[in-house]
Amino acid sequence: MNMYKLSHPHWHRTFNTIVTALIFIVAGSMLLGRNLDLIPAYVFHIVVSWQMLLIVLGLSSLIKRNLAAGFIFLVVGTFFLIPVITGVEGEWFRTYWPVIFIIIGIVLLFKRWNFKRHRGCKWGECDEHAASKELFSEDGFVKADVSFGAARYIVLDPVFRGADIDVSFGSVTLDLRKASLDESQTYIDIDCSFGGIELFIPAHWNVQVKADSTLSGCEDKRHISQVVDYEHKLIIKGDLTFSGIEIKN
């Protein structure tokens, strides 16, 4: 049996609230300082900018150990902030913008390698998931790692015991309609950056979403049954960055 260990503590939600509050406080203070002529215009345009917002989101993701999304936000924000700080001409953009793609590629390779190392796979192993379109669970537990691709997982085991889904620039479909829940709490742990996840879940299952989201969303489109199983709970947790989850039946 696969035992699931809770890996994202509740302080994530508190941390998100603190970061959001600080963004509003800093933005309000900068606006007030500009109106009172206490802050130079160039400082205001640096601090209150979409580039700085990406940097803050990147640092926040890194602190929460969402490394891939954190580095991507940090690199993109810093890259576009450099011309604002230095005043370089547009030629700088036309010359160096491919660096963004190089760094994103390196981050995704590192993420892929770290995923394999964490699960004891050698390079070249565990790659059947990337090439297959339809896969099945092992003892009721699903492990998915998808980058720039798509995969569909079907749980045919009588009992669903949880899932670990890692998606970057891709999509995953997880079909649980042929399974049931045995434990009082079963977890789906998601780390999704610039991707989409589609979950097919029976209408009578009690589903709770506790995932941290950055410019992301989750929508339950099921036709909820009048009889809901409150003795068993499916909890969706993890991190979503520029991603979406759809729950269907």
Break the chain down into helix, strand, coil percent, rounded to 5. 40, 30, 30
CA within 13 Å, CB half, 36:
7
In the predicted model, what is the mean pLDDT of residues 222-232?
Answer: 83
For the chain, give every domain's residue range. 11-116, 127-248
Q: What are the φ/ψ torsions at residue 142 (nearest 5 degrees)?
A: -115, 130
Alpha-carbon dihedral sign for residues 170, 190, 225, 154: positive
Whether the pLDDT of residue 187 is over 90: the answer is: yes
Per-residue H/E/C for 30-67? HHHHHHCCCCCHHHHHHHCCHHHHHHHHHHHHHHCCCH
Alpha-carbon distance of 47 to 36, in angstroms, equals 17
Ranges 92-96, 120-124, 154-158, 201-205: which has the least confidence: 120-124
Q: Which of 140, 214, 208, 139 is nearest to 174 (CA)?
A: 140
Whether the pLDDT of residue 126 is over 50: the answer is: no
Residue 138: predicted pLDDT = 67
Residue 135: predicted pLDDT = 62
Residue 9: predicted pLDDT = 44
Alpha-carbon dihedral sign for residues 30, 36, 42, 45: positive
Q: Which of 118, 142, 140, 158 is nearest to 197 (CA)?
A: 142
Alpha-carbon distance of 114 to 241, in angstroms, equals 19
List pLDDT tens digits, range 32-61: 988 888 888 888 888 888 888 888 888 877
Burial class of residue 54 (count of CB atoms within 10 Å of its CB; 0-12, 13-18, 19+): buried
Sequence-distant (6+) residues with CB within 8 A of 78 are 51, 55
The secondary structure of residue 159, as a DSSP letter, is B
C-alpha 129: how far from its chain's center? 19
Which helix H or strand E contains 197, and what residues bound it? strand 196-200
Confidence bin at 13 (pLDDT 50/70/90): low
